[in-house]
Amino acid sequence: MRPYIGLTIPAQAEYLDIVRLALYGVASKAGFSFEDIEDMKVAVAEACNNAILHAYAHDQSGTVDIQFEQQDGFLQITVKDEGSSFHYVQTDSEEVALHHKSIREASVGGLGLFLMQALMDDVQVLTHSGKGTEVVLKKQLAGQLDRKEEMV
């Protein structure tokens, strides 16, 4: 198992600033640009918001686990809850992208996912049969792709 930095917060919106601060520290130490860090902060906040709003019933308390892991020129951020999950079907991001569509064509409940896909290099949503949802976000460190191509 690779080393990672983990954070567990109560499933409450007032704790999102802690997630953003932790992400800033991890991503800046890894060498990400300010613009990439800001993009990641928006995507991670959206994933956390989804967990806070949808995973737990209003009378139920819960937590959201966030894991930051550097691997192969990427930063992988996993946002996981243990609340009620939903049926999600992974689709090709080109099929669901809004680039050539009117904003009216987007469903309100799905805008967060479109936003995450637009800001990150890879987004995966894993549901666990009513026992939580896991969102895995990846962002490539700028310049890593160029170096890999030069080696080939």
Sequence spans of domains, the chain: 5-151
The proportion of the chain whose per-residue pLDDT surpasses 70, expressed as a percent, equals 75
pTM passes above 0.85? no
User: Is residue 152 pLDDT above 90, yes or no?
Assistant: no
User: Is residue 12 pLDDT above 80, yes or no?
Assistant: yes
- The span from the CA of 142 to the CA of 101, in Å, is 28
Token couple for 62: 């819960």
96-131 residue pLDDT tens: 455 555 556 555 556 888 899 999 999 999 987 778
AA letter at 117: Q
- The span from the CA of 119 to the CA of 113, in Å, is 10
The confidence score (pLDDT) of residue 140 equals 97
The confidence score (pLDDT) of residue 148 equals 47
Half-sphere exposure of 79 (CA within 13 A, CB side): 27
The confidence score (pLDDT) of residue 151 equals 46
The confidence score (pLDDT) of residue 54 equals 86
Domain 5-151 sits in CATH at: 3.30.565.10
Non-local CB neighbours of 4 within 8 Å, separated by 6+ positions: 67, 68, 69
44-97 residue pLDDT tens: 999 999 999 888 877 678 999 999 999 889 999 999 999 876 655 555 544 445
